[in-house]
Structures are given as C-alpha cells and as structure tokens.
A = this chain, B = another copy of it.
Amino acid sequence: MTGNSLDPHLARYAARTEGMRASAIRALFAVANRPEVVSLAGGMPYLASLPLDQLAAESAELIAKDGRVALQYGSGQGLPELREQICQVMSLEGINAHPDDVVVTVGSQMALDLVTRIFCDPGDVILAEAPSYVGALGTFAAYQAQVVHVDSDDDGLIPAALRSAIASVRESGRKIKLLYTIPNFHNPAGTTLAVHRRGEIAAICAEAGITVLEDNPYGLLGFSGTVYPAIRSMDADNVIYLGSFSKTFAPGLRVGWVLAPHAVREKLVLANESATLNPPVFNQMMISRYLANFDWQGQIKTYRELYAERRDAMLAALEAHMPEGTAWTHPDGGFYVWVTLPEGFDTAAMLPRAVTARVAYVPGTAFYADGFGTRQMRLSFCYPTPERITEGVRRLGAVLEGEQEIMRTFGTGFARRSVGRGPNSPSPDTT
C-alpha cells in the first residue's frame, strides 16, 4: 500500500481497504447540494407527497402501544409479520415465496453487502450490465470481486453477450459467482429487460451454475402501470432477489430485503447478525403498519405520476438543448436517463464547469468498473421539479456548447482533465 504518510495506521489495513478511496467527485457534490445548483445527480426520491401527519400519528401509536417491543432487540431475520407482507408485495411481480425465505436488511444495500460477503472470494468474478449501479460496484470492490460488464441494449442485458462473457471469463480461469442485474428501469441506464429475455437469462445462468442476483428497487415504478414478472418468478432455485421500500415509500427508515433459496437464506441470516445483530425493530414495525394501514399502492401511483411528469420534462428539455449527435434512453419508469454525448466529450472532466454553471450530474465512469463511460452521464429526474429539470438541462446544454467551442478551438485533448473515475464507494448522492 502506498501513499498518505500521515496515516500511521496505513501499514495495518487489510488488503481490501486499498480499494476504498474517496472519489474526487464527492467534494463537487458537496457544492452541488447548494440550493442554487440544479442537481440531476442524486437518486433521492421526492417525499413531499407522503402523508406526514398520518405517519406521525402512526409512529406515535407504535411507540406508545408497542414501544417495549419496537425499541428492543429483535430477530436477525426480521419480523415475521413484515416478511409475510413483503411476500404479498413481491406477488405483484409474479413471485411465489415463503416468508421464511425472506431476510430483512438495512436497505437493500446491506443485502448486496451480505450476498457478496457469502459468495465472493477475492478475485471472483461478478457479471453485471454495462453500465451498472455505482453502489453495487463499490460493494463488489470492497470484497475484492472483479466485475466483468456484459453488453446491454435498449432491451437490457443481451443473452448472447452473456453467453460469450461466461465463456471468455471461464477461459481465463476465473470463477464466476454471480450475475448482478437490475431488470426494471435500470440504474443508471433507464432501460428495462425485455420479458422474453428473462427466462433465457435465467436458464443460461442456471445451466452455467451462476447465481442470479436480481436487484429490483424500481419494479413497481413503471409509468404505464405495467409490472413486469421478476426473473425470480421464473426460477426460484437459482435467483436471489433484492427488494426495497426506499423508492416505493421512503429511504429514511432503511428497510430492504433479500429473498433467497433456503440454504442461502440461512447463511444470510448469520451474516446479517454478524453485521448488525438485527435490523432496527422500530423501522420494521413502522413499515409493517404502513403496509397494513395506509393505501401504499395509491402512494406508489402518486409517485408514478409525479415521476412520469418529470421524465417528460427531462426528455423534452434534452430534445431542446442537447448538441447534435447526443443520444439518450427513454425510461418507462424509475429515476434515470442515460445520456451518451458525441465523441470527444469527457463528462468527468467537464463536471467542475457544470457545477460552476449550477447544474450537476453523475459522470458515466462511475457506473463502470473498467474505465468506460467517459462520454456518458446519468441524469436523474426524481427529485427536482419539472421547472428545475428544464432549467437544469438548459444549463447543461450551455455547458456542452462551451465545451464544443473549446474542442473546436484547441482540440479534444484540452477537455480531458478528469477529476475522478471509477465506482469507488457509493455516496448517498449517487444511489
């Protein structure tokens, strides 16, 4: 390990710690959070539509009536009532599951951590879409797993590309442990895996002995109201499914879950206990009451309409303000549009100038483990109002115009002063 001689602990760290580095992007995001900046970077849901007064009353009743349970230690697997309700939520996606195979976790991020922990030795390979969720890439790196990206198109992961990735990784002598995939309203790509590909991908992985890790935080947030069948609904034995209430309700209670084949579930409970003893009981009971006593499906409908309107604002603004030769995805749900700029742009190098122009985004390199994504960027439409989105994309268009000016005058090399690349660790700003 090299570097910082100011840290006397340096020689004492584990090998895995070398991969944990703060991205230079972080400092920029601190600036990006100022109110005058339109942040198209964050993945924060827009919570203004939540019935806060009723939730307040619900939490008060929970503590007054059940406080001695809600404030006590609990089970490492999570509350049985909540796990039953989670099975009902998953049934909307065609999943037939038993509550005994569900483990409640501190957000689905903790589930990602635990699955990686029990499956991956250093050097093991995880296949993932190109691009993929920055927070997953950070967790995989923390366990020294190697990510190999598999090509995707507008219909999501390409089965033929998956087959050839498996073959070429195996030829290199490495072990493939997981296929990590976000089938619905992908973060960051904004695409959805075509239903006709789902069974094929499940079958390829089952045949190859590779466990599918299906991450599905956005599945119920399809703008047309369509809910696609989960990959898990097609293969109960070889798929580990991650779910979350962060996007369909709110992230501040940090309640997610993992549904796994029984033997894997046992390991996950032990790992969960080793990590946190148990997920917070109050939070689980609060979610359980929310599902029992509130119109949670109505709330999801509200979110869908809200986000659809913002998606429309973003797509219209992109049409109006992006330079010629720019391409972007047209998401039917979720939070994100993935933008590909013409050759020559470097979105990481450009970020400081964008923030100066009071607009922020996440550079594409954050979503690749292998340095790709230089001319891509993720724009999120979940948090700002439609007016702010329009204004933000307008500012972004002006920045891109300025960049093109510089490139025309001085050549593309001038723009390439990147401030930070690669997934590093996820920050809540980039979820």
Chain A interface (Cβ within 8 Å of chain B)?
Answer: 4, 6-17, 20-22, 43-45, 47-48, 50, 52-53, 55-57, 59-64, 67-76, 106-107, 109-110, 113, 117-121, 124, 135, 138-139, 142-143, 177, 209, 211, 237-238, 246, 250-254, 261, 263-264, 266-267, 270-271, 273-283, 424-428, 431
C-alpha spacing A16/B63, complex, angstroms:
39
Q: Do residues B276 and A254 form an inter-chain contact, with CB atoms below 8 A?
A: yes
Q: Do residues A271 and B142 form an inter-chain contact, with CB atoms below 8 A?
A: yes
- Provide the residues of chain B in CB contact with A7, threshold 8 Å: 261, 263-264
Q: Do residues B72 and A251 form an inter-chain contact, with CB atoms below 8 A?
A: yes
A104 to chain B, nearest CB (A): 12
Q: Do residues B63 and A13 form an inter-chain contact, with CB atoms below 8 A?
A: no
A42 to chain B, nearest CB (A): 8
- Provide the residues of chain B in CB contact with A44, threshold 8 Å: 72-73
Q: A50-B71, A55-B67, A252-B70 are in contact. Are A277 and B426 (CB under 8 A)?
A: yes
User: Which one of B6, B120, B275 lies within 8 Å of A275 (CB-CB)?
Assistant: B275
Residue of B with least CB distance to A69: B252
Q: How many copies does the complex hold?
A: 2
Q: Do residues A276 and B74 form an inter-chain contact, with CB atoms below 8 A?
A: no
20 A-B contact pairs sorted by A residue (CB < 8 Å): A7-B263, A8-B261, A14-B121, A20-B270, A47-B67, A56-B60, A56-B64, A69-B252, A71-B250, A72-B251, A107-B277, A109-B277, A110-B275, A110-B276, A135-B274, A253-B280, A254-B278, A270-B424, A270-B425, A274-B426
User: Which one of B56, B211, B426, B431 lies within 8 Å of A63 (CB-CB)?
Assistant: B56
A299 to chain B, nearest CB (A): 12
- Provide the residues of chain B in CB contact with A121, threshold 8 Å: 14-16
C-alpha spacing A149/B286, complex, angstroms:
42
C-alpha spacing A302/B4, complex, angstroms:
47
A340 to chain B, nearest CB (A): 27
C-alpha spacing A53/B68, complex, angstroms:
12
C-alpha spacing A56/B74, complex, angstroms:
20
User: Which one of B8, B142, B252, B266 lies within 8 Å of A72 (CB-CB)?
Assistant: B252
